Chains A and B, each alone.
Chain A
Amino acid sequence: MGLFDAIDVTGSGLSAERLRMDVTAENLANAQTTKDASGQPYRRKEVVLQQAGTSSSFGTVLQNAMGGTSAVRGVQVAGIVQDSTPLKRIYDPGHPDADKNGYVTMPNVNTVTEMTDLISSSRAYEADVTAMQTAKQMFTKTLDILR
């Protein structure tokens, strides 16, 4: 049934955007973390999203390339990857993790990037909520036909 599928699909969007917000929060919380569990400075993490259930099989790729009807699916998290951009080095001789020249290696977290990511996922979350409300209203209207 279409409308229930629509609700499931938006549900997948909600959980994906929530995870993005969680990861952004983790990045922000660790913006000053110079030592993680393995003794290395924290590296920012990023969520990679992909269309749910997309398979790279020849048949699916061909069907999509031919503009065929691909079934409606939601979104899923392909993985959480570490950002490999270089870590920042700042001069702070008083820091316990400073090297012999007085430099400390800091995480590659940019607060501005994290804030824009946060706004982006929050807006997408809102859009998903609206989509779910619309599907619910439509379903209620269907039931209303019988009354």
Chain B
Amino acid sequence: MELFDTTQTGLERALSGSALRQEAIASNIANVNTPGYRRQDVDFQSALQAAWGEGRSAVEAVSPAVSVDPTAAVRQDGSSVDIDVESAAQSKNGLQYEAITTVLKTRNAILRSAIGIN
């Protein structure tokens, strides 16, 4: 068994994707009153899911990127930010981030005990 396997790498990628997603949501919320602003989002889950079965190097190659969300409804002033959508996305993303960190922490604890560090 590798010390840092696909799961470990995948969790790390998910963590950085989730952090970038928070950045995009923060930008959307900051621009809630900016006319013509289009909401941005980060979709790393689908790429990560596809790469997971292909091994560690494929997972490592997943690079989350910010892109403009073309599906969001556009308001009268040309902005596509809906504060309720952003709040929901933010809560969801925060919880996902917390879940990933918890799993990472538990895995680290197991590794530590296997190595013999308390």
Contact = CB atoms under 8 A, between A and B. Distances in A.
Chains A and B are bound partners: yes
A40 interface: no
Contacts, number: 120
Interface in B83-99: 83, 86-87, 90-91, 93-94, 97-98
Interface in A88-141: 120-121, 123-124, 127-128, 130-132, 134-135, 137-138, 141
Contacts of A135: 22, 26
A64 to B, nearest CB: 7
B90 A124 contact: no
B23 A9 contact: yes
A10 B26 contact: yes
Given A68-B67, A69-B65, A127-B87, A13 B31 contact: yes
Contact of A69 (B16, B22, B67, B101): B67
Nearest to B68: A67
B105 A6 contact: no
B55 interface: no
The secondary structure that dominates the A interface is helix
Contact of B33 (A1, A12, A49): A49
A17 B97 contact: no
Interface in B1-49: 15-16, 18-20, 22-27, 29-35, 37, 40
Interface of A: 1-3, 5-7, 9-10, 12-13, 16-17, 20, 49-51, 64, 67-75, 120-121, 123-124, 127-128, 130-132, 134-135, 137-138, 141-142, 144-145, 147
Going nearest first, the 3 A-B pairs with the smallest beta carbon separation are: A13-B30, A2-B19, A6-B26
Given A20-B33, A49-B34, A132-B26, 13 more contacts: A6-B19, A9-B30, A10-B30, A16-B33, A49-B35, A50-B34, A51-B31, A69-B66, A127-B87, A128-B30, A131-B30, A134-B91, A138-B19
Interface of B: 15-16, 18-20, 22-27, 29-35, 37, 40, 65-68, 70, 83, 86-87, 90-91, 93-94, 97-98, 101, 104-105, 108
